[in-house]
Amino acid sequence: MLRSFFIGLSTNKAFRAFSERSAAGRKVSSRFVAGMSVAQAIDATVQLNAEGIDVSLDSLGESVLDVAHAEASAAIYHQLLDAIETRKLRANVSVKLTQVGMDIGGPTEGPALAERIVGQMVAHAAHIGSFVRIDMEGSEYTEPTLQLTERLHQQYPGAVGTVLQAYLFRTESDVERLLTQGIRIRLCKGAYEEPAGIAFPEKADVDANYVKLMKLMVTSPVFCGIATHDEAIVQQLRAFVTEHSIDKRAFEFQMLYGIRRDLQRKLVAEGFGVRVYVPFGTEWYPYFMRRLAERPANVLFLAKNFFKS
């Protein structure tokens, strides 16, 4: 119930505008957000790289409804790719299609705009040997996101990939579909509210599907990201890797900034690849609410720390 409450709140425009402007809002968001500026995000990246952790930079934003805003979001991504090149950061970028125009105009106009903007990012990433991950949003975007990724992968093989969500029934066939084309996948459980007709309502079923799909991915020749903080799943993958003599570097674990830092470091020490997703920027509200939805106990934790400092 609390999950639905926070996911509902994540799309509340008035509360979003109020929270993003308030100093208190910015303070609490710093638990999961690396800062408001590109410079702060780069600093966080340098620190993580020094600990042996790779990064995916996310300039926060989504549900953008005008072209100038979409273009401004893209400009930040080009700045990030320039910084990755000049500062030799072990980093790539993650972007949402609704941040770069997917919802603007009609059903063909928006996707065409998003494809043009993300296409330019992927071209830039390919040029410097980096990579663009297209995050996955709610299920109305699943098929358009996959098709867009497939077209860009044809043009720039290896420079673009996307995300699949274990809570959707369709994901098993999507895993096969992308792996046969050599497209890199990040597997996550899924962070949106989806109807029972298309997604597993029970967490235990989502977890079981995650494990099944993760095994398909790590035994394929495609380099994939296993994005979870679920220690039981991490443990199952450790055992599976040992049992099947899979190279620890044939895939990477991915986790979110500020979550399970202990586990991130432990996995690096064990010789696994770890990438941390580093979100930053002033448009932090929907991202932050989804993190509360995943673990409502975070609200108590944040409140305690807010009044402490």
Ligand X SMILES: Cc1cc2nc3c(=O)[nH]c(=O)nc-3n(C[C@H](O)[C@H](O)[C@H](O)COP(=O)(O)OP(=O)(O)OC[C@H]3O[C@@H](n4cnc5c(N)ncnc54)[C@H](O)[C@@H]3O)c2cc1C
Task: State the residues that interact with ligand X by CB under 6 A.
Answer: 135-136, 163, 165, 186, 188-192, 227-230, 254-256, 259-260, 277, 291, 294-295, 298
Catalytic residue among 186, 207, 275, 291: 186
Q: Could you confirm whether 174 is annotated as catalytic?
A: no
Residue among 62 and 115 whose Cβ is closer to ligand X: 62
Residue the block writes with tokens 């340098």:
46
Smallest distance, Å, CB 8 to ligand X?
16
Q: Which residues pair with 22 in a beta bridge?
A: none
Smallest distance, Å, CB 231 to ligand X?
7
Q: Are 216 and 175 in contact (CB under 8 A)?
A: yes
Residue among 3 and 67 whose Cβ is closer to ligand X: 3
Residues 6+ apart with CB under 8 A from 247: none
Residue among 86 and 292 whose Cβ is closer to ligand X: 292
Residues in the chain: 309
Catalytic residue among 135, 184, 207, 291: 135
Q: Could you confirm whether 135 is annotated as catalytic?
A: yes
Residue among 105 and 290 whose Cβ is closer to ligand X: 290
Distance in angstroms (rounded) separating the CA atoms of residues 101 and 111? 7
Residue among 82 and 147 whose Cβ is closer to ligand X: 147
Residue the block writes with tokens 């720039």:
156
Look up residue 148 and give its amino acid: L
Distance in angstroms (rounded) separating the CA atoms of residues 210 and 183? 18
Smallest distance, Å, CB 213 to ligand X?
12
Q: Are 280 and 60 in contact (CB under 8 A)?
A: yes
With the C-alpha atoms ordered 52, 54, 57, 63, is the resulting torsion angle positive or negative?
negative
Distance in angstroms (rounded) separating the CA atoms of residues 32 and 39? 17
Smallest distance, Å, CB 245 to ligand X?
26
Distance in angstroms (rounded) separating the CA atoms of residues 216 and 46? 33
| DSSP 8-state symbol, 294 | H
Smallest distance, Å, CB 14 to ligand X?
24
Please list the active-site residues: 135, 186
